[in-house]
Amino acid sequence: MTTATARSKPAATTRADQRPVEIRVRKMGKDYAQTPSYWFDNDPFLSLFFTAFSATLPVGEKQFIHSVRLFQERISDPVLREEIRAFIGQEAHHAKEHDSFNRLMAERGLSTDRIEQRMARMFEWIREHASPEQQLANTVCAEHFTAMMADYMLSKSPELMEKMDPAMRNLWAWHAIEEAEHKAVAFDVYRQEVNDVWRLRRTMVFISLSIAGHVTFDALQLMREAGELRNVKSWRKGLKQLFGRGGMFPAMAREYLDFYRRDFHPWQHDNRQSLARARAKYLGETTSSATLH
């Protein structure tokens, strides 16, 4: 595993307290040929739900990078500039890794490629019609979702990872760790260059509805293709895991609502300890990365 360190010492800026972790770029380059299609707890719904999510990531991550690059040259803070470079490096590797997995699933007859093409058309339209400020706001909101999901997997429900096929566990753990590390980068760029709270709130409402719509549609599509549409047992189990008591979405509720607060910052949700534990467990990184300033 190759690593490049974006920042190895505390930042000498006034916002140093809001950048409490090192952001590292790591390559995975794993082979998923042996990964079963039902890689999550041997369950169709859970596996296909997260496979559908994976299908949106390569083009999604590229759009995140694009939106931050629109502002990159305006940033003079050397720490934030370094963090943007690390953010871009991490997201580029995520896109590549999920692409390897998605291609394999497409070869097995799941339409991860169609999901990706649909997302690509949507982002093409956004690039043509939305302002740079709006594109960055979209990214900030989507990054809050990835940060909440990462925190759920790493902190709130780490036993969930144990139910995954080992290669997929490594993939999602690595991705979740890096999403947690860079969760404030797009936000800090937005705050410095746009700083329009109401735009962010409006965008969050829209992005939430959009994600819910896409995820429902994509999960239904993959379940139909896999011949599992009428697998009531799997739907029940999966929906309980996502929406039931202690499920992923209810567990995110507080953090989600916090986003609408005027003084919100991603590092107010301080998950440095579970992040450090996850880095040791999944990446074998024993050096303290969750350093307090």
Binding site for Fe ion (CB under 5 A): 91, 94, 146, 179
Measured from the CB of residue 87, what is the shortest distance to Fe ion in angstroms?
Answer: 7
Distances (CA, A) of 60 to 65, 77, 287: 9, 26, 31
Distances (CA, A) of 192 to 6, 154, 207, 279: 20, 29, 22, 30
Tokens 């790493």 found at: 154
Tokens 């936000």 found at: 187
SS3 helix, strand, coil % of the chain, rounded to 5?
A: 70, 5, 30
Measured from the CB of residue 175, what is the shortest distance to Fe ion in angstroms?
Answer: 6
Nearer to Fe ion, 100 or 231 (CB): 100
Measured from the CB of residue 15, what is the shortest distance to Fe ion in angstroms?
Answer: 19
Measured from the CB of residue 8, what is the shortest distance to Fe ion in angstroms?
Answer: 21
Rounded to an integer, what distance in angstroms lies between the CA atom of residue 168 and that of residue 102? 12
Measured from the CB of residue 74, what is the shortest distance to Fe ion in angstroms?
Answer: 20
Rounded to an integer, what distance in angstroms lies between the CA atom of residue 39 and that of residue 247? 19
Rounded to an integer, what distance in angstroms lies between the CA atom of residue 265 and that of residue 187? 8
* Contact in structure between 130 and 138 (CB atoms under 8 Å): yes
Residue nearest to Fe ion (CB): 94
Nearer to Fe ion, 57 or 222 (CB): 57
Nearer to Fe ion, 91 or 133 (CB): 91
Tokens 């949700």 found at: 269
Nearer to Fe ion, 43 or 181 (CB): 181
Measured from the CB of residue 6, what is the shortest distance to Fe ion in angstroms?
Answer: 14
Nearer to Fe ion, 57 or 290 (CB): 57
| Other residues' Cβ atoms within 10 Å of the Cβ of residue 199 | 17
Nearer to Fe ion, 146 or 203 (CB): 146
